Amino acid sequence: MAEAQRSFQDSQNGEKLAEDLKKFLAMAVEMGADDAKIIGREDIIIDERIVARCYSPRCSYYNTNLHCPPHSWSAEETRHIVDKYQKGIFILLKVPPEEMADPDYDNPDKHKIPGAMKMYRLVAAIQSAAFYDGYANALAFAGGPACKRVFCAKVECSGLTPKGCRMGQKVNFTMHGVGMDPIAMASRAGWKVYPIGKKTKPEEIPYGVEMGLVLVQ
């Protein structure tokens, strides 16, 4: 017989949270993450400079979609939101160097980014699992490029129109788009992240990374 679905009230104790966090950790690895860690809100680093990088030099996805600046939360709003949580799952996915180090990275016709898509799906799945386990306010963040590049590169963002986002529950804000510093957080977690830019050649780095975060409770 299938396990009865838990009520929201049943999840409001420390013992269940500890058990569930371990389950979500295992879920991340089973879905293909290279590593995942349980972190506290004190491990989530927020810095206004991260959002500033969306403005200067101006990101090509700035003001093109619902989940990027100037439509996303400010770093200060993110601080207030993160402060409401105790624990989350921080996720690392290593991707082949050529997936990130390519001058055609922003051209969906010439370059594919399956790792970024995988991270969006991974954090969305864990957020959904947490919700059905009784954590009503579980909140996920992807780590890679804008959802516009991953899901809607060739069409206009309907999230900026009265129609609303066509991707529904599949997309979330990115960590950096709301002022989180995934690189600093990765250092604290013991993960290596290599700088990658337009001039980076795949053979110069061992791998690229996608990072994601799911705040649970």
pLDDT at 96 over 90: yes
The Cα–Cα gap between 150 and 129 comes to: 23
| Model pLDDT for residues 107-140, shown as the tens digit of each residue | 889 899 999 999 999 999 999 999 999 999 999 9
Q: Phi/psi at 142 (nearest 5 deg)? A: -80, 175
Containing H/E element for 91? Answer: strand 87-95
**Residue ranges per domain, the chain?**
9-215
Q: Mean pLDDT score of the chain, rounded to an integer?
A: 93
